[in-house]
Chains A and B, each alone.
Chain A
Amino acid sequence: MKDFYELNELQLDALKEISNIGAGNAATSLSQMLGRKINMSVPNANIAPFPNIVDFVGGAEIEVAGGYLRVDGEMPMGILFMIPKEQVFYFLDLLFGNPIGTCTNWDEMKQSAFKEIVNILAGSYLNALSVFTNQVYSPSVPAQANDMAGAILGEVLQQIGEVSDHALVVENIFIEQERQIKGHFFLLPEPKTMELLLKYLGVL
């Protein structure tokens, strides 16, 4: 089995490509949900050692909302979506049709709306993976945490920490008409999943 840092350019590109398609699906779903056009940037895919991963989201201390779900079965992996607090509130204002700035704290309704967003994003990603791998993925219900980015990431990275010191980070920036919504998607395949993924993509 390979550790993530042993991936070559070609393999990283292949993972980026899946991600591109996955994020494309996700942007379409979001557009439909919010009733306005959501674009997305070309994704970045990076392999980084644990202490550096938090830099991708702007530092360990920033306050974020994180939605995390697990995919079990043949190809186990974790999916984490992280978005800064003020941006997720902007998002929720759009979703509920409120004037921007209305949403300032969490309640049960907003939490379930956020989890639903994570569900839809993850579903769109997994659909793209299904097309390439001919596998069916059944994700768990997402769990949510609102706290420091470092604290949230740490818990998620523990899932692959026993076998690796590195993780694959796929960064997608969603762009709404008026502003950038910088959501980070972390696709965290376990090493055996990574190997299968590369095999299906024909780059192993």
Chain B
Amino acid sequence: MSIEPVKVGMAEFKTALPPLSLITIGLGSCVGVCLWDSLIKIGGMAHIMLPDSTQSRIVQNRAKFADTGVPLLIEEMLKLGANRARLIAKIAGGAQMFNFPGSSNAMRIGERNAEAVKKCLEQERIRLIAEDIGGNFGRTIEFFTDNGNLFIKTINKGQKRI
């Protein structure tokens, strides 16, 4: 019997309980933030697209930005019974897919996403215990809610578990 993982699309966030896993397919410069409470075994994943909501004119979807998406995921998990002190974080993504000659700051968005997510986790006092960030390749990530393992698959750069 195989169980379909819960899909987290671009600028979305979801939570899940065992035996379900959470998956984001094809992360490029976006960052996948995974949170896990080891005691009650609840997992959450957010697909963060941009670093900073204050740069945006209209914020319709809080999950899209690091500074609003990370707190949103934490809130949701606390609501479902997770304990802040037990939460751990793993993050992946933040690549740069396109390399323009003489590329400007605006194109280094993967790096900025990763920085913003880390800063936000620190402010929220969530421990970041593993990361797989950067490079110029896409990642598919699957987060297992029973043991907190994060599997990362790529096309040419192999796969790993963090």
A: which residues have CB within 8 A of B? Answer: 1, 3, 50-54, 59-61, 63, 66, 68, 70, 140-141, 143-145, 147-155, 157-158, 161-163, 165
Contacts and interface: CB of A to CB of B under 8 A. Distances in A.
Contact of A51 (B10, B55, B136): B10
Contacts of B58: 3, 163
A50 B9 contact: yes
Contacts, number: 112
A152 B97 contact: yes
Contact of A147 (B49, B61, B109, B137): B137
19 contacts: A3-B58, A50-B49, A51-B12, A52-B9, A63-B155, A68-B98, A140-B100, A141-B101, A145-B136, A149-B26, A150-B28, A152-B28, A154-B26, A154-B49, A155-B28, A155-B29, A155-B110, A157-B10, A162-B57
Interface in B51-93: 55-58, 60-61, 64
| Majority-rule SS of A interface residues | mixed
B35 interface: no
Given A143-B100, A162-B56, A152 B10 contact: no
A155 B12 contact: no
